Amino acid sequence: MSLKPAFAQNAVAYQPALDAAWAGRTGEALRLIDAYLAKHPDDHAARLDRARFLAWLGDYAKADDALAGFGADDQEAAALHARVLAWAERRDAALALNTPLYAADPGDYDSAWTQALILRQGEWPYQALPALATVQAVKPDDKDTIDLAKAVRLPLFSSIGLTPSLYSDSDDIEIRSIAADTNLWLSDRWRLLASATRREHSATFGGPFAPLLGDNHVDEDRVGTGLRFAPSPDTALELWMGNSRIDNGVGSDNKTIGHLQLSQRASDAFLYALTFDRDRVDQSPRALAVMRHGLSADLRWTPTLRDRLDARIASDDFDDDNRRTSVLANYARAVYRGGRVMFDLGLQAEGQHNTRNTNNGYYSPDRYRRYAVTASSYISLGQEAGLYLSAALGQQRDETFDNWKRATDINAELTLGIFSHWQLVGHVGYSQRLNQFGRYEGANVGLNLRYRFCEFRASRCPSVR
């Protein structure tokens, strides 16, 4: 965290707040310093410490508001503001404040710490290494130095992973999958991608989701490789090509699959990714025989440090003469930041239109609509573990419904080993959809075991004590 609390005009008066902050009781520290500032509103150091405590709680929006009252020539406030913006991933704004401070004194621990935190973001995280080296030279054993080294190292890792998963629903569709993948650093701008997947799709024999020929299941083997190129800190191009082979017991079918993606961070507030892909429709064993060509735009707009809007707009062309357009939009607002617990509330809207209902084993309504209230929470279980929970409760309708019906989604994800070489992520999900034909339920569970490493290239692998 660094940028330690300042000495107030009357340090003794709110010393209990400082003591509580350094003991890890940041919420208590904030209450104590608020009480002090109610009587001493012009105490410069106390106002800075209040903003600092808010940032330590993860409430970057309130910390940003608190710092807005300081003058542009206040270098201490500017340094803290840069740190807050770096934590909030406002890279350009943070650089504008901190780079002059860092350039004026490259050996200063705090400005170098902030510079490294800023530059680790984006497609060129290696840019953070010189500033990190300064930090490690000044205070090699300090906890803040060790924490920063872990954060800088994270985007520089290569990795290999193994992902087993299971999906089942009330339509008797079951999909078992196991995948292996790798993401290898080739140079500062190039990464090699590769993956192999085995999936087993099954459904009730003779039902609407089973293959038209052969058994009640279809086995799929997928393998592919690709490259990711970053021409700038804000832009990346990714090309992945592979082969999908399916076998329904009476014959096999091979198809080329892949994607081409352009992703760009256009500004601090706006990011987008444009993807063209070709793949199978994987909603059921019967649908696997259908190929899809898609074009999608993933957009993220964060107009403030409290508000986030995500949208996915897609157009798909299927080889069974169906065409689909779809939109999924999410709005979330930061409601509570308490250090260990973060809580957001929001809204979600989804729409879909298909030109044909082909009865080829996948949902293809003419006009589908869904609206939901969403809630999500991240619970920190320590520096190396965290639990993410989300839920969406809403209403849905398509052209076959007599009225609106309930739609519910619940998801949980536990991460162990956030910064370490070994990482395990487990997730479970549940969906319930009421429609004209009764109640549909679907559940999924999966694990991702990943080993991350960078020691084979010492110049691009920060040492962590």
349-358 pLDDT, tens digit each? 999 999 998 8
Q: Per-residue confidence at 7, pLDDT binned at 50, 70, 90?
A: very low
* Sign of CA pseudo-dihedral 211, 214, 217, 220: negative
Classified as helix, coil or strand, 83 is helix
Distances (CA, A) of 162 to 179, 186, 222, 309, 453: 6, 21, 14, 31, 15
Q: Per-residue confidence at 10, pLDDT binned at 50, 70, 90?
A: very low
pLDDT at 211: 79
Beta-bridge partner residues of 128: none
Structure tokens at 122: 């984006």
Q: Per-residue confidence at 170, pLDDT binned at 50, 70, 90?
A: confident
Q: Per-residue confidence at 3, pLDDT binned at 50, 70, 90?
A: low
Is residue 442 scored above 60 in pLDDT? yes
Of 140-154, 164-178, 264-278, 433-447, least confident by mean pLDDT is: 433-447
pLDDT at 38: 94
For the segment 404-421, the average pLDDT, to the nearest whole number, is 96
Q: Per-residue confidence at 418, pLDDT binned at 50, 70, 90?
A: very high
Number of Cβ within a 10 Å radius of residue 227: 14
Which helix (H) or strand (E) segment is 178 a member of?
strand 174-185
Is residue 173 scored above 70 in pLDDT? yes
345-380 pLDDT, tens digit each? 999 999 999 999 888 888 899 999 999 999 999 999
Is residue 433 scored above 90 in pLDDT? no
Is residue 149 scored above 80 in pLDDT? yes
Structure tokens at 285: 């064993």
Name the residue among 293, 294, 257, 295 with its Cα closest to residue 274.
295
**Domains present along the chain, CATH in parentheses:** 11-155 (1.25.40.10), 163-460 (2.40.160.40)
Q: Per-residue confidence at 8, pLDDT binned at 50, 70, 90?
A: very low
DSSP string, 96-162: HHHHHHHHH-TT-HHHHHHHHHHHTSSS-GGGGHHHHHHHHHH-TT-HHHHHHHHHHHGGG-EEEEE
Give CA angle at 78 (18, 94), nearest 5°.
110
**In this structure, are residues 159 and 180 in contact, taking their beta carbons and an 8 Å threshold?**
no
Residues in the chain: 465
Higher-confidence residue of 388 and 69: namely 388
Name the residue among 380, 450, 465 with its Cα closest to residue 157.
450
Distances (CA, A) of 321 to 132, 246, 279, 285, 356: 56, 21, 15, 19, 7
Which helix (H) or strand (E) segment is 378 a member of?
strand 368-380
Q: Which residues, 6+ apart, have CB-to-CB distance to 184 below 8 Å?
A: 158, 191, 192, 193, 194
Instruction: Write down the mean pLDDT value for the chain.
Output: 92
Of 314-318, 350-354, 435-439, least confident by mean pLDDT is: 435-439
pLDDT at 434: 63
210-239 pLDDT, tens digit each? 877 667 789 999 999 999 999 999 999 999
In Å, the largest CA–CA distance within the chain is: 84
- CA dist 152 and 154 (Å) reads 6
Torsions phi, psi for 108 (to 5 deg): -75, 130
Of 90-99, 245-254, 275-284, 361-370, least confident by mean pLDDT is: 245-254
**In this structure, are residues 54 and 85 in contact, taking their beta carbons and an 8 Å threshold?**
no
For the segment 420-432, the average pLDDT, to the nearest whole number, is 96
Which H, E and C letters describe 191-235, residue by residue?
Answer: EEEEEEEEEEEECCCCCCCCCCCCCCEEEEEEEEEEEEEEEECCE
Q: Which residues, 6+ apart, have CB-to-CB distance to 142 below 8 Å?
A: none
